[in-house]
Chain A
Amino acid sequence: MDFPTLIQYGILISLGGTVFAGLIGLLVHTREAHRLAYGLLAFANIIGAITCFFFLKSGEVGVLIGSIPFGYSLTLGLDTLSSIFYLIITLVTTLCSVYAIVYVEHYKDTYHLPSLAIATSLFIFGMQMVLLSTNIAGFMIFWEIMSIASFFLVMADRKQASIKAALLYLVMTHLGAAALLAGFFVLSQGTLLANFSALQVIGQSLPVHAVTMAFILFLFGFGSKAGLVPLHVWLPEAHPQAPSHISALMSGVMLKVALYGFLRIIGMFPIMPSWFGMTVLVLGLASAIFGVLYAVIETDIKRTLAYSSIENIGLIFTMVGVGLFASSHGQYLLGQLCFIAAIFHAFLHAIFKSGLFLAAGVIVSETHTRNLEQMGGLTKRMPIFTGAFCLLALSAAALPPFGAFFGEWMFLQSLVRVLPTITADPIFLGVVVAALMGVAFVGGLAIFAMVKLFSIACLGEPRSESASHAKEPGGFLLAPILFLTILVIAIGAFAPDLFSLLKADTVISFDGLSKTLQIPSAASLSSLKLFSALVIVSFIVWIFRHLFSDSKNERSYHTWDCGQPITAGMEYTATAFSAPIRFFFRLLLRTKKAVTAIPIIPTNPWIARRTMELDTSPIFMEYLYLPIERGLMHVSKLVRKIQNGSIQLYLALIFITLIATLIIAL
């Protein structure tokens, strides 16, 4: 069997296994059916991941997977871009499925397990097929399957809050899908069965205003799926309501599918005015800044992670925006480097964010709450798990020597190195300096958010009864989290290898333009050297501590308490921990704090019972969406005046509408 055939079989096995897992959920009604379904999902997807890995390694450009005669022929294909994202999907799905085998059994009464398995398989199948589709119709059909399946997954527990979140998600995602469909209509001039390769040709003849229109529609469509500000409102509501392995898939993978779509379509645009890139950059930076600020002040563990996803997607789109802007200014090498950094960061985000969501699932099922303020003391009760959680949180903060650092490193280095060569172009200069400042600013606050997440959830004394009974999770829950942790550390040590797997080396060795821009190639910072230097130094410090002091000479005692016994209520909470940031950024966040004091003795105002109320509701809901809603309601009230029950008037209205339609259409 030759290589393309092997790739073809590998991909087909992963698709077939995913569908079959759904069928098991549908047809088999024994108690262990879901185990079989998730096991099959894990098996099929690991095959897919291995296939994609070897495909990327081989340097093959594209492989035809097959075609479905479906009224018209729907061709499936795999190329470099889609195989990178296919690798992300299948890898994360494998780990989430292994996790789900035991995880869903904890929630037997909350979820209907067979239908959860069906929706999960359908969701994954939709995402896989979006990547493989090579024409518009296929792309849109599977995009819808992915959206609808995830809608059902968000409301899997059938609670009021979940249904509300799911409906918000449904509205936003369908506004997005409608925009995508309209965009495709404009770009393909009505031929929705066109192949993507044909689209490129059709686009050449389009007038500028049509291309602009298409760009805005696509940015809206993909932006609403990826969670760009101000279209992100559904994300912090929907992701936390889903079961944790689904949250991991939605945050880690589905957002990347939107990124894939954006990159795929943007590559086909016939023209690229520089303000396209600038718009993407502005939206990306705004998402990153608002995402990270809300991640800092949020007190719900899964919502913190959802906001952190908005931040990371914002960073990725910032990179893409600079890349587009640079390409339209003729700086192709900088453009390429930005795209590489964006894809690298997307890859790493999928890994650490799904790890963090899986870990959050373990914490929530142990402590029975999503509120950080009722957790604490987990490090003592579950040391192995919290060790992995700590490392994942550190890598989410993009710190060296962990993997996620190198994407940001690449981006910052590229920006700094391009600055001296573009001083003649003030607008370009402004864009690069803004991106540099924005990413540096967000990087700092991301550290704050992740430290808050880990330390308030895990350190100190437990703040609630159920948190004090937390136990180390079982092997099936722990193994995927440990695997992702090891992966993040390994990528940290071997970052250049991942860069070259993602085809970065083929771009970097492109030397036509390297004279104008000194390239931050992966070799100029040896990640392995950095990693080993840190490990060796720590080891030497450890040896010296044991040589020069007696390591047994210690005793246990309670924390210094100023003479009054310490209780968990005296610990810092998430709200208290983030108070300085809330204060410093009060103009942006507009949190409302009200302290009411009720004197216990009416004559003495000093001895009082005080309560504090803190409103940290997001400003976009309050200042953008609610006014729109009020406006719509107002317009509807006005329109209602013509709805007076007289059938003659309705007939007249129908007739007027018909005439008006005919006039416009003809």
Chain B
Amino acid sequence: MNSIVITLIQAIIILGLAPFCMGLVRMFKARMQGRHGASPFLPYITLATFMRKQMVISTSTSWVFRVVPFVVLSTTIFLALVLPLASQGGALSSLSDFVVVAGILSLGAIFLVLGGLDGASAFGGMGSSREMTIASLIEPTVIVAFATVAIVSQTHLIDGMIFHEMSEILERPYLLLVLISLLLIALAENARYPVDNPATHLELTMVHEAMVLEYSGPYLAMLEYASALKLTIFSLLAVNLFFPVSLLVPGAGLISLVTVIGMTVIKLVVMMFLLALLESSIAKMRFFRMQEYLSVSFFVSLAGLVLVLINLV
């Protein structure tokens, strides 16, 4: 298989598994909280239903409102194509420069914010203001954390930042600091606990849900799908950076394709289980304490960077 084929295979795997991933975390969470919960395949049906529904477009909105779902979904799919999620060395891997990835992430966040404000409701503004605050204060952490990994792995492409031997990480225990800060970022980027509560529609707590409140029908499907995709991307990226097990590389055969699909599902199940465990055991933080959370993630990654540099002497 050449690099174009493995990029396409990765895209199909990720795009196909994203709703399952979202359903999985909801099911795990329900089980942990003593409920039976819906099937993990429910989001597929939900998305299909949204696609058939009639859209209600607010009279206050303009062209921005209609552009938002496209930009948000496109930037997320772009990340699914360039990052090493199920494959490494794909056709677009030369675009996985970490500064570019951080910028594309912000681009998606910005358009969500614009969509939230275009409806002219106070809810949208509230969510937008919070989301923009979090997104803009996460940016330095993303840069510093990936810069640290870039120095260790001597490449600026996230595609090359994957360690192939566990011993490479065990020799550098300070990389765990980077892992912690990346996980903190991932929770904030995906609007999960303790930054946001993905399950409520309460003005005091919500961030992400407040911005998409005015969307319905196919546009809502696109936005929901984008957030499911983002969750999948971040989980797989976190696993792959530090526990890279079976990735598709150019020249791989059919048998490895089957292993890759199997392993990707297993990785997602484990990560979703851990996420559900986390969300069932901690409380959401007050928004005005977010500065503590964001500064902790920033300083943890900075500590990682400093330790890496000291260690290089």
CB distance from B155 to the nearest CB of A (A): 9
Pairwise interchain contact A455-B117, C-beta atoms closer than 8 A:
yes
Pairwise interchain contact A572-B139, C-beta atoms closer than 8 A:
no
Chain B, Cβ-Cβ closest to A422? B309
The residue in B92, B154, B305, B309 that gathers the most chain A C-beta atoms within 10 A of its C-beta is B309
Q: Which residues of the other chain, A, contact B70 by a CB distance below 8 angstroms?
A: 538, 541-542, 545
Pairwise interchain contact A580-B59, C-beta atoms closer than 8 A:
no
CB distance from B280 to the nearest CB of A (A): 28
Contact with B along A339-371 (1 / 0, CB 8 A): 000000000000000000000000000000000
A380, A530, A551, A555: the one contacting B62 at CB < 8 Å is A380
Pairwise interchain contact A538-B71, C-beta atoms closer than 8 A:
yes
Indicate if B285 sits at the interface (CB-CB under 8 A).
no
Indicate if B30 sits at the interface (CB-CB under 8 A).
no
Contact with B along A406-423 (1 / 0, CB 8 A): 001100110011011001
Pairwise interchain contact B129-A559, C-beta atoms closer than 8 A:
no
Pairwise interchain contact B117-A460, C-beta atoms closer than 8 A:
yes
> Given the complex of chains A and B, what is the CA–CA distance between A423 and B312 in angstroms?
7
17 residue pairs from A and B, CB less than 8 Å apart: A394-B110, A400-B104, A416-B156, A423-B309, A433-B309, A443-B139, A451-B113, A454-B114, A455-B128, A459-B117, A524-B156, A533-B92, A533-B95, A557-B59, A560-B213, A571-B122, A584-B137
> Given the complex of chains A and B, what is the CA–CA distance between A149 and B275 in angstroms?
63
B54, B132, B217, B312: the one contacting A420 at CB < 8 Å is B312
A394, A440, A554: the one contacting B139 at CB < 8 Å is A440
Residues on B lying within 8 angstroms of A by beta carbon are 51-52, 54-64, 69-71, 73-75, 77-78, 81-82, 92, 94-95, 97, 99-100, 103-104, 106-107, 110, 113-114, 117-126, 128-130, 132-133, 135-140, 143-144, 147, 150-151, 154, 156, 213-214, 217-218, 221-222, 287-288, 290-291, 302, 305-306, 309-310, 312-313
Chain A, 573-618, CB within 8 A of any chain B CB:
576-581, 583-584
A-B contact count (CB 8 A): 245
Chain B, Cβ-Cβ closest to A561? B121
Indicate if A70 sits at the interface (CB-CB under 8 A).
no
Indicate if A257 sits at the interface (CB-CB under 8 A).
no
CB distance from B21 to the nearest CB of A (A): 20
Beyond A416-B156, A571-B122, is A437–B140 a contact (Cβ under 8 Å)? yes
Pairwise interchain contact B133-A537, C-beta atoms closer than 8 A:
no
Residues on A lying within 8 angstroms of B by beta carbon are 376-377, 379-380, 383, 386-387, 390, 394, 397-400, 405, 408-409, 412-413, 416-417, 419-420, 423-424, 429, 433, 436-437, 440-441, 443-445, 447-448, 451-452, 454-456, 458-461, 518, 520, 524-526, 529-530, 533-534, 537-538, 540-542, 545, 548-549, 551, 553-561, 566, 568, 570-572, 576-581, 583-584
Pairwise interchain contact A580-B129, C-beta atoms closer than 8 A:
yes
Beyond A400-B107, A437-B302, A554-B56, is A537–B125 a contact (Cβ under 8 Å)? no
> Given the complex of chains A and B, what is the CA–CA distance between A558 and B119 in angstroms?
9
> Given the complex of chains A and B, what is the CA–CA distance between A558 and B124 in angstroms?
14
Q: Which residues of the other chain, B, contact A454 by a CB distance below 8 angstroms?
A: 114
Pairwise interchain contact A448-B62, C-beta atoms closer than 8 A:
no
Beyond A541-B77, A553-B55, is A399–B103 a contact (Cβ under 8 Å)? yes
Pairwise interchain contact B77-A429, C-beta atoms closer than 8 A:
no
Pairwise interchain contact A436-B120, C-beta atoms closer than 8 A:
no
Pairwise interchain contact A379-B118, C-beta atoms closer than 8 A:
yes
A423, A549, A571: the one contacting B217 at CB < 8 Å is A549
Beyond A451-B114, A530-B100, is A441–B121 a contact (Cβ under 8 Å)? no
Pairwise interchain contact A444-B139, C-beta atoms closer than 8 A:
yes
Pairwise interchain contact B140-A537, C-beta atoms closer than 8 A:
no
B51, B97, B117, B214: the one contacting A572 at CB < 8 Å is B117
> Given the complex of chains A and B, what is the CA–CA distance between A537 and B108 in angstroms?
14
Pairwise interchain contact B99-A413, C-beta atoms closer than 8 A:
yes
CB distance from A120 to the nearest CB of B (A): 35
Chain A, Cβ-Cβ closest to B137? A444
Q: Which residues of the other chain, B, contact A423 by a CB distance below 8 angstroms?
A: 309-310, 312-313
Chain A, Cβ-Cβ closest to B140? A440
Pairwise interchain contact A459-B118, C-beta atoms closer than 8 A:
yes
Pairwise interchain contact B114-A554, C-beta atoms closer than 8 A:
no
Pairwise interchain contact A420-B151, C-beta atoms closer than 8 A:
yes
Beyond A420-B312, A545-B218, A555-B56, is A570–B121 a contact (Cβ under 8 Å)? yes
CB distance from A600 to the nearest CB of B (A): 24
Q: Which residues of the other chain, B, contact A440 by a CB distance below 8 angstroms?
A: 139-140, 143-144
> Given the complex of chains A and B, what is the CA–CA distance between A123 and B128 in angstroms?
42
> Given the complex of chains A and B, what is the CA–CA distance between A560 and B61 in angstroms?
12
> Given the complex of chains A and B, what is the CA–CA distance between A530 and B95 in angstroms?
7
Q: Which residues of the other chain, A, contact B138 by a CB distance below 8 angstroms?
A: 444
Beyond A533-B81, A545-B222, A572-B122, is A460–B60 a contact (Cβ under 8 Å)? yes
CB distance from A215 to the nearest CB of B (A): 30
CB distance from A558 to the nearest CB of B (A): 5
Q: Which residues of the other chain, A, contact B57 by a CB distance below 8 angstroms?
A: 554-557
CB distance from B70 to the nearest CB of A (A): 6
Q: Which residues of the other chain, B, contact A558 by a CB distance below 8 angstroms?
A: 58-60
